Amino acid sequence: MEMIFIDEQGDTVQASIKYTLLYRFESKIKVNRCYVMSNLSAFFSVKTYKYVMNDYRVTFEYTSTVREVDIPSIPMYSFKFTSYADIQQASNNNEYTIGSLNHVSGGTKQNIPFELEDIDGSKVNCLLWGKFAEYILQRIQDIGVGPYIVVIQFATTKIKNGEVQVSNHWYSSRELINEDIPAINEFKSSLIRSKPNSGQVISQKSSQSYTMEDDFIRKTARKKLDELSDTNEPGKYVVLATIKGLVKTLKWWYNGCMKCNRCARHDSKMWYCHVCIAHWPTAKPTYKVEVIIMDDTNLASMIVFGKEAERMLDISVETLIQTIRNRVY
């Protein structure tokens, strides 16, 4: 469980609770509440994509304590906006995530490519996906006529086709769109003064709509099964083939790690994952289904894991395990 703490001065630090301690603290800590905490550990952080400009982070221990208090002077938000010049430099440095205040123009569905523009007219490309794409589309629909002022916090940057692109960082980024907060209100007032026509309805940057799966299929090399047999190097490929059947085996599921889904082994009263190098109180049943596939060049076997196998079989692994056990007993 990852969090960001803020104090009365607006300074921030990243904090975390190990999975094995969630049962002690998860119900005691809520977003946008104030707490007095003690017996936390602090250490120098070497992680990439840190969420705050702080070289240290804190973590909860078994002996940590949490007490809720009411301190109105602690601000709800803390912004350290990144200039567009610094965004260009940040694309070569993955030590910190960035925050940006922008005027939005552009957008499609699923994956949303936007063009972000600051008050000086500098522009940078932005791609939002997943729940962040859904949220911004819904907010734009609710707001109606623009301008749309968006704060993108805890974002990442990368170079794509020779240009810098800002994107959300999995599930931890934050979007604020036309919210009633000083930073957005000031930017909006400045924008309207400098660009009176900025209130026009949002324009489409691209008329094409596609999902992340579509994007993968379009941009990944395609091969026939015969070509795969001649490929010595591992890689990612798209193969168009027909599933001809399932391979009967007793090992069609395994106990998976709660974080990475890799195989976890029972270790005393816990489950150990050699990939995460961590112990977990439980493991989750995970599909490992072998299928026979065929195209017009060859026949091959393929392993389908987890959610992909669940979608293929149209039944959860837990339900199938229980169904088989009921038949046996």
Is the model's pLDDT at 58 over the cut of 70? yes
Per-residue pLDDT tens digits for 206-237 = 333 344 455 566 667 888 998 887 777 778 88
> Distance between CA atoms of 293 and 136, rounded to whole angstroms?
40
Is the model's pLDDT at 42 over the cut of 80? yes
Average pLDDT over residues 113-142: 76
Beta strands in the chain (DSSP E): 2-6, 12-16, 34-38, 41-44, 56-59, 65-69, 98-105, 112-117, 123-128, 149-160, 163-168, 174-177, 242-246, 253-256, 264-267, 270-273, 278-280, 284-294, 299-305
Class of the CATH-defined domain 2-69: mainly beta
In one-letter notation, the amino acid at residue 247 is V
2-69 and 84-212 share one fold:
yes
Is the model's pLDDT at 15 over the cut of 80? yes
Nearest of 206, 209, 231 to residue 105 by alpha carbon: 206
- Mean pLDDT is highest, among 98-102, 141-145, 221-225, for 221-225
> Distance between CA atoms of 156 and 150, rounded to whole angstroms?
16
Predicted confidence band of residue 97 (pLDDT cuts 50, 70, 90): very low
Q: Which residue has the higher pLDDT, 188 or 15?
A: 15
Question: How many beta carbons lie within 10 A of that of residue 251, not counting itself?
Answer: 7
In one-letter notation, the amino acid at residue 230 is D
Per-residue pLDDT tens digits for 154-207 = 777 777 777 777 777 766 677 778 777 777 777 777 766 766 555 443 333 333
- Calculate the alpha carbon distances from 14 to 2, 50, 52, 111, 290 in Å: 7, 8, 7, 28, 42
Average pLDDT along the chain:
76
Roughly what angle, to the nearest 10 degrees, separates helices 317-328 and 306-313? 60
In this structure, which topology does domain 220-328 adopt according to CATH? OB fold (Dihydrolipoamide Acetyltransferase, E2P) (2.40.50)
Per-residue pLDDT tens digits for 256-266 = 998 888 899 98
Domain boundary assignment for the chain: 2-69, 84-212, 220-328
The pTM is what?
Answer: 0.41
Asked if 25 and 64 count as a contact pair (C-beta separation under 8 A), the reply is: yes
Percent of the chain with pLDDT over 70: 74
Class of the CATH-defined domain 84-212: mainly beta
Asked if 264 and 281 count as a contact pair (C-beta separation under 8 A), the reply is: no
Structure tokens at 271: 């489950």
Structure tokens at 39: 């017996």
Per-residue pLDDT tens digits for 283-295 = 999 999 999 999 9
- Calculate the alpha carbon distances from 75 to 71, 93, 154, 181 in Å: 9, 29, 18, 11
Please list, in sequence order, all residues whose beta carbon lies within 8 angstroms of the beta carbon of residue 264, skipping any fewer than 6 positions away.
255, 256, 257, 258, 271, 272, 273, 280, 283
Q: What is the structure's pLDDT at 194?
A: 67
149 burial (CB, 10 Å; 0-12 / 13-18 / 19+) is buried
> Distance between CA atoms of 19 and 281, rounded to whole angstroms?
9
